[in-house]
Amino acid sequence: MRRNYCFRTIVSHRTVLDTSGCFASAGIMAAHVLLVLLLPVVSVWLVSCWWLRRYCFYRRRTFFADGLPATLFVTAHPDDEAMFFAPAILGLAPAPRWLLCLSSGNYYNKGEIRKKELLDSCAVLGIPPSKVTLIDHRDLPDNPSVEWDIALLSALILEQIEAHRIALVVTFDAGGVSAHTNHRSLYTAVRYLISEEKLPGGCRVLVLETVPLFRKYVSLLDLPSAWIQTPDVLFVLTQEEADLAKSAMRCHRSQLLWFRRLYLPFSRYMVINSLNYLQLEGERGFSPAEKPGQLRCVDKQTLRYRPMETFPSLG
Ligand SMILES: [Zn+2]
């Protein structure tokens, strides 16, 4: 009896061991299968990043058939130029480039410090102080809860365009990259200038694409996605240029909190800028009956329509 009892115990114990072993080996096998399936995908993705970076660099000069245009970058705060637009600013060199910054970034009462930081950053990006204009207007406060006056904004932007014979304006799109209200106001202002046909002939507007959060902090790994989305213009920085962009951002010493230090290596906007032309639907020959007063923005190549929100009153 006693021997039988022991035997049963041992058998039972072995059964338990064998079952867990089965689960373990099934798990290992599943992991292997997953690895075998994922490895080619990851490899192709990484090679695509490497190849597209080289390709975009060599193709950069062909984006603008008539030569590099005199360009005005329109930003809302000191540091926008380095945080978001560095790939386009560096990518358009040696074209003449101007910067119009619509506030001193005085939300934390550091406006005076930030003015100096902006000039330092622009110098690193190849824009001399003589081509930097910073507006410090009481009606244009650095404040995420304040919508800026569109009439005032558009007048200030137009003044710069005419003064420097600008052929290309670069600013935020409707999403404003970070959804900051001040960023979005700039988009509304340039859209107003286009809709009212106030821009000089030949002057075009490029808006910086806002990407979803999951694409925002993967740096160069976002390159294949950006390419597939077929933006009108795609700038990707070389390693040397990316270092320059980081140096420009480090000029904004008053802004370098811990999360912005993490932003430098991980944000795709430090190495990639995908931009689309802003234009009215009528330009592409759509029904004239729809044109008056019914403004829509259209992505030039993808033909995706972006319905406009209600236009703000200019009264
Ligand atoms: Zn900003």
pLDDT at residue 108 in the model: 87
Share of the chain above pLDDT 70, in %: 79
CATH number of 63-273: 3.40.50.10320
**Rounded to the nearest whole angstrom, what is the distance from the C-alpha of residue 10 to the centroid of ligand 1?**
70
Question: Among 267, 269, 251, which residue's Cα sits nearest to residue 259?
Answer: 267
Task: Please spell the DSSP secondary structure of 203-227, one letter per residue.
Answer: -EEEEEPP--HHHHTSGGGGHHHHH
pLDDT at residue 24 in the model: 76
pLDDT at residue 274 in the model: 94
**Rounded to the nearest whole angstrom, what is the distance from the C-alpha of residue 48 to the centroid of ligand 1?**
31
Enumerate residues with CB within 5 Å of ligand 1 (an ion). 76-77, 80
Mean pLDDT (the chain, rounded): 82
Residues of the chain scoring pLDDT < 50: 1-15, 283-315
**Rounded to the nearest whole angstrom, what is the distance from the C-alpha of residue 281 to the centroid of ligand 1?**
29
**Rounded to the nearest whole angstrom, what is the distance from the C-alpha of residue 123 to the centroid of ligand 1?**
19
Answer whether 209's CB lies under 8 Å from 275's CB: yes
